């Protein structure tokens, strides 16, 4: 049914049954005693054939996932059987050691399929292989015998000579093992009890890296060596033993050997073979990796053997990708921020070949936009940003003319020259000794303020600095001169200072009294009767206040009010009324007419009270009038006293319920000091309760 696909033309239809029965051959590399495992191998192959060849256009997502899960489950069971069967695994590795290509292909497939199983199971099968000498059986494939095996196998099977194919399979097996756990291969390469097999395997990997014709295999060899040489996951002792193999036993000498060779081919041609060029590029990448991860070991080796000078010779190669390889190594050296590396680069003039190639790329007919110009500008920008002074000074002094020529075209070059000028200025005027171009105090403070430093470019007459300096100067002068001045003053100066202090205190007191009077006047205007037809009563004038020093009554000023929450003020007022003398009570209940003649001022110990409905009125200080015919009822049945701001300033008492006749006020009885004190307390409490609920008990009749 699947062979007759109507969606495909007749010539493109595949006879799937014939392929599975005739063309596909099953090779028994090792004998599986378990028939169920053998059946799973056949079933797994048919499932993969269906998923990849027969049904790729017809499968939906759910069916595709189901087939994939079935395949992975079978793979896990097959590899688990291989891992648990020690005899089967040992037989396989022995056949591989005998240079059997089919056994090597079986081992490669087993390692590939191990990527699809869980990590713990994958780790277990690799550990089982290492126990059965996995790496020892792979060493012969890096010798000359592997070439003969590959030639014979290729001639028999396909008629094509592929002598390096077994080596490719071995490199892939090593890479898969290293990706799972590099400790196994690292331990084999660095072990001293392997009878030279570890060193032979390492030498074979280096040769593959340098000269292999397949660039993919060269890249795989690079990844293997990087994983083995990575010391990040190693302890200190293990790291030293691992690096000793490369730095002390000649492995790196073999690795950098192509950099010492001439750039022309062995047959006299000017260009190298592509495999050799790519091998040199990978060598530079591996050296850059060692510079980044090996620290002083790589530094000592590069400085001692002049590896960087040999690598920069590649800048003269005709291949652009080969010219970029030493730039990558130079960038890693610059990125270490190690002064030893930087002095080495400056001393040997390693930037000269780079800038020469940079200049050639900018000349016609070049467009000036290739990758070499980009990486050169990136290196210069990194030097400028990090302000590597050794390299900045070297570039701007040795290659200043070349950089100056390209300043208008590249902002990076302009910034590098500017950074050089800034460094020269800092050397001429060190910031710790000069600020804004001038000398500063040796105490390390600016303007006497410890811990504060002047920003670059700030002038000495800045407003903020002058402000802080003036504050410090005033504090210092006050702290130092105060005790000395107190002792050095003469008696006349002390007396003059005392008089001046008294005058200032008196002026402050008068100002406070004026403010109080203004507040009272404002309160009077705010709480007046509001009757425009009547003439409001002025309680107190500024002249009267200045003469007697007495304050007006707040209760009389505000008129009659009742506050439910001011119980304390009401109780105090009742106590005050009950304690008044009999003669004052009698005087409060009699009506008297205010005299119009002036009288001598009499001292008033207490504050006078106004009727509950009376309110203050605006007027000039020192003048007050009373309107005639205004009815003043007393809702509380108490006598109300009022102060008049005439020259006599005699408080009078107006009887409750009486009408005040036109004319001036009459005098009232003096209140004792105790009554004055209680009235003041009542007024203070009333002031606190004014904004709450003010009620007017009466209004002024017109």
DSSP 209-278: HHH-S-HHHHHHHHHHHHHHH--TTS-HHHHHHHHHHHHTSSHHHHHSHHHHS-SS-TTS-SS--HHHHH
What's the burial of 616, exposed, middle or buried (CB within 10 Å: 0-12/13-18/19+)? buried
30 pLDDT tier (thresholds 50, 70, 90): confident
Q: Which of 193-207, 332-346, 349-363, 607-621 has the lowest mean pLDDT?
A: 607-621
495 pLDDT tier (thresholds 50, 70, 90): confident
| 70 vs 606, higher pLDDT | 70
| 171 vs 664, higher pLDDT | 171
170 pLDDT tier (thresholds 50, 70, 90): very high
Question: DSSP 3-state assignment of 535?
Answer: coil
- Judged against a pLDDT cut of 60, whether residue 585 lies above it is answered with no
Q: Is the peptide bond before 365 cis (omega within 30 degrees of 0)?
A: yes
Report the C-alpha gap between 464 and 396 in whole angstroms: 38
What mean pLDDT do residues 478-504 have? 71
What is the pLDDT, as a whole number, of residue 127? 93
| 600 vs 376, higher pLDDT | 376
Report the C-alpha gap between 547 and 561 in whole angstroms: 30
Q: pLDDT digits over 514-560, tens only? A: 988 888 888 777 665 444 444 344 444 444 444 444 444 444 444 44
What is the pLDDT, as a whole number, of residue 265? 58
| 469 vs 402, higher pLDDT | 402
| 134 vs 5, higher pLDDT | 134
- Judged against a pLDDT cut of 90, whether residue 441 lies above it is answered with no
Length of the chain: 702
What is the pLDDT, as a whole number, of residue 488? 58
* CB of 628 closer than 8 Å to CB of 661: yes
What mean pLDDT do residues 45-56 have? 86
What mean pLDDT do residues 453-465 have? 52
- Judged against a pLDDT cut of 60, whether residue 267 lies above it is answered with no
- Judged against a pLDDT cut of 50, whether residue 613 lies above it is answered with no
What is the pLDDT, as a whole number, of residue 207? 93
What is the pLDDT, as a whole number, of residue 175? 95
Please state, as a whole number, how many other Cβ atoms lie within 10 Å of the Cβ of residue 307.
23
Report the C-alpha gap between 106 and 91 in whole angstroms: 12
What's the burial of 162, exposed, middle or buried (CB within 10 Å: 0-12/13-18/19+)? middle
What is the pLDDT, as a whole number, of residue 125? 93
What mean pLDDT do residues 182-191 have? 90
Q: pLDDT digits over 232-248, tens only? A: 878 888 888 888 889 98
E strand or H helix at 90: helix 86-97
Report the C-alpha gap between 334 and 326 in whole angstroms: 12
What is the pLDDT, as a whole number, of residue 348? 94
What is the pLDDT, as a whole number, of residue 242? 87
What is the pLDDT, as a whole number, of residue 595? 41
What is the pLDDT, as a whole number, of residue 582? 43
The winner for highest mean pLDDT among 313-322, 445-454, 466-475 is 313-322
Q: Which residue has the tokens 């592509």?
A: 274
- Judged against a pLDDT cut of 50, whether residue 347 lies above it is answered with yes
Q: pLDDT digits over 652-669, tens only? A: 333 333 444 444 434 333
- Judged against a pLDDT cut of 70, whether residue 8 lies above it is answered with yes
What does DSSP assign to residue 20? Answer: I
What mean pLDDT do residues 629-641 have? 41
What is the pLDDT, as a whole number, of residue 472? 60
- Judged against a pLDDT cut of 90, whether residue 300 lies above it is answered with yes
What is the pLDDT, as a whole number, of residue 679? 56
Q: Strands 438-439 and 652-654: what pairing?
A: unpaired
Is the full-model pTM beyond 0.75?
A: no
When the pLDDT of each residue in the chain is averaged and rounded to a whole number, the result is 73
- Judged against a pLDDT cut of 90, whether residue 287 lies above it is answered with yes
Three-state secondary structure readout of 145-156: HHHHHHHHHHHH
| 391 vs 580, higher pLDDT | 391
Partner residues linked to 438 by β-bridges: 435
Q: pLDDT digits over 139-162, tens only? A: 999 876 555 555 445 444 444 444
Partner residues linked to 640 by β-bridges: 654
Question: DSSP 3-state assignment of 611?
Answer: coil
What mean pLDDT do residues 618-626 have? 39
**Rg of the chain in Å (alpha carbons):** 54
Exposure class string for 91-108: b at 16+ Cβ within 10 A, else e: bbbebbbebbbebbbbbb
At the top level of CATH, the class of 256-264+271-431 is mainly alpha
Report the C-alpha gap between 95 and 101 in whole angstroms: 9
**Sequence ranges of the domains in the chain:** 256-264+271-431, 511-688
What is the pLDDT, as a whole number, of residue 497? 85
């Amino acid at each position: 049914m699947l062979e007759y696909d109507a969606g495909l033309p007749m010539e493109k239809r595949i006879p799937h049954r014939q392929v599975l029965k005739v063309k596909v051959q099953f090779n028994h590399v090792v004998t599986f005693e378990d028939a169920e495992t053998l059946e799973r191998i056949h079933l797994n192959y048919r499932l993969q054939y269906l998923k990849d060849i027969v049904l790729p256009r017809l499968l939906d997502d759910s069916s595709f996932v189901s087939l994939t899960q079935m395949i992975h489950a079978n793979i896990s069971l097959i590899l688990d059987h291989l891992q648990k069967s020690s005899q089967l695994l040992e037989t396989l590795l022995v056949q591989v050691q005998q240079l059997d290509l089919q056994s090597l292909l079986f081992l490669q497939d087993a390692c590939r399929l191990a990527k699809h199983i869980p990590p713990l199971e994958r780790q277990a099968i690799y550990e089982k292989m290492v126990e059965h000498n996995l790496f020892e059986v792979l060493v012969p494939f890096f010798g000359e015998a592997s070439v003969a095996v590959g030639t014979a196998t290729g001639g028999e099977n396909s008629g094509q000579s592929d002598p390096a194919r077994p080596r490719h399979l071995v490199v892939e097996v090593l890479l898969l093992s290293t990706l799972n756990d590099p400790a196994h291969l690292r331990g084999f390469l660095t072990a001293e009890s392997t009878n030279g097999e570890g060193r032979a395997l390492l030498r074979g990997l280096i040769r593959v890296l340098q000269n292999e014709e397949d660039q993919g295999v060269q890249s795989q060899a690079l990844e293997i060596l990087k994983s083995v040489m990575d010391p990040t996951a190693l302890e200190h002792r293990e790291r030293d033993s691992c690096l000793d193999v490369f730095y002390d036993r000649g492995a790196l000498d073999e690795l950098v050997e192509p950099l010492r060779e001439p750039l022309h081919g062995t047959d006299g041609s000017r260009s190298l073979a592509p495999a050799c060029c790519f091998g040199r590029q990978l060598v530079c990448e591996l050296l850059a990796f060692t510079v980044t991860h090996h620290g002083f070991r790589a530094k000592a080796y590069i400085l001692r053997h002049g590896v960087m000078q040999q690598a920069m010779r590649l800048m003269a190669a005709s291949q652009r990708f080969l010219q970029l390889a030493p730039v990558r190594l130079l960038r890693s050296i610059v990125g270490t921020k190690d002064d030893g590396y930087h002095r080495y680069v400056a001393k040997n003039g390693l930037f000269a070949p780079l800038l020469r190639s940079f200049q050639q790329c900018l000349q016609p007919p070049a467009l000036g936009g290739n990758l070499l110009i980009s990486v050169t500008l990136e290196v210069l920008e990194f030097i400028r940003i990090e302000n590597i002074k050794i390299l900045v000074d070297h570039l701007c002094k040795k290659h200043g003319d070349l950089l100056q020529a390209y300043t208008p075209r590249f902002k990076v070059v302009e910034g590098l020259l500017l950074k050089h000028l800034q460094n020269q200025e800092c050397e001429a005027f060190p910031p710790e000794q000069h600020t804004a171009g001038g000398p500063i105090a040796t105490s390390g403070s600016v303007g006497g303020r410890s811990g504060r430093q002047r920003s670059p470019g700030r002038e000495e007459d800045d407003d903020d600095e002058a402000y802080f300096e003036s504050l410090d100067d005033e504090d210092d002068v006050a702290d130092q001169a105060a005790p000395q001045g107190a002792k050095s003053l003469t008696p006349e100066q002390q007396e003059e200072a005392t008089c001046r202090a008294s005058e200032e205190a008196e002026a402050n007191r008068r100002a406070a009294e004026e403010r109080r009077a203004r507040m009272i006047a404002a309160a009077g205007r705010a709480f007046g009767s509001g009757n425009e037809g009547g003439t409001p009563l002025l309680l107190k004038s500024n002249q009267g206040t200045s003469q007697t020093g007495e304050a007006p009554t707040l209760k009389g000023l505000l008129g009659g009010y009742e506050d439910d929450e001011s119980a304390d003020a009401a109780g105090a007022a009742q106590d005050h009324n009950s304690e008044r003398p009999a003669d004052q009570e009698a005087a409060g209940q009699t009506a008297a007419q205010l005299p119009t003649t002036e009288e001598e001022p009499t001292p008033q110990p207490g504050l006078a009270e106004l009727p509950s409905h009376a309110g203050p009125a605006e007027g000039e200080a020192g003048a007050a009038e009373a309107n005639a015919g205004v009815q003043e009822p007393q809702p509380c049945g108490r006598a109300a006293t009022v102060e008049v701001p005439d020259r006599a300033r005699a408080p009078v008492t107006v009887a409750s319920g009486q009408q005040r006749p036109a004319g001036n006020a009459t005098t009232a009885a003096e209140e004792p000091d105790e009554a004055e004190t209680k009235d003041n307390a009542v007024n203070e409490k009333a002031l606190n309760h004014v904004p709450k609920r003010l009620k007017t008990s009466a209004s002024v009749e017109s």
